[in-house]
Amino acid sequence: MEIASFDDLLHAARMQPEPQRLLFVFAAAELPDDATPAQRARFEAGLGGALVPLMCVDKTPQELASFSALAQEAQLFTAPGHDWAMVFAAALPGTLNQAPTSADAQAPLQRMVDAIKGGAHGGYIPFNRQGQPVRLG
């Protein structure tokens, strides 16, 4: 199934044969200290920058009504001046008809955070603040 929106992700997760737990890492775009003038100009135009994870959370698909609900919840935990630019999503499948717990999700979430810090985000679906998938790179 092609994921054309956050709602598609929710639908796909709900339709899997095994229950899922969705993993989310919210990231901001920041300009590195050693940025070139060209990089600074692109960043000021709303392009480029380094992705910096700000916070993460795990949810079952049933706990989320929509992207708007996730975004509203994220605003409650966003520190002033550190607004997120995109959210990366992944799914953790359950086994034997049992969804993974939040405790089960902690190590995979940490791996996601570390991967995004290192620029290795190809295994995750990035969504912009409107819940639309983004193509990076």
DSSP state of 120: -
pLDDT, tens only, 86-130: 999 999 999 898 989 999 999 999 999 999 998 888 889 999 999
More reliable by pLDDT, 135 or 100: 100
Tokens 């000021």 belong to 44
pLDDT, tens only, 60-82: 999 999 999 999 999 888 777 77
pTM score, whole prediction = 0.88
The pLDDT of residue 88: 97
Tokens of 103: 């405790």
Tokens 């600074």 belong to 40
The pLDDT of residue 137: 66
Q: Do the Cβ atoms of 88 and 122 come closer than 8 Å? A: no
Q: Where are the domains of the chain?
A: 6-128
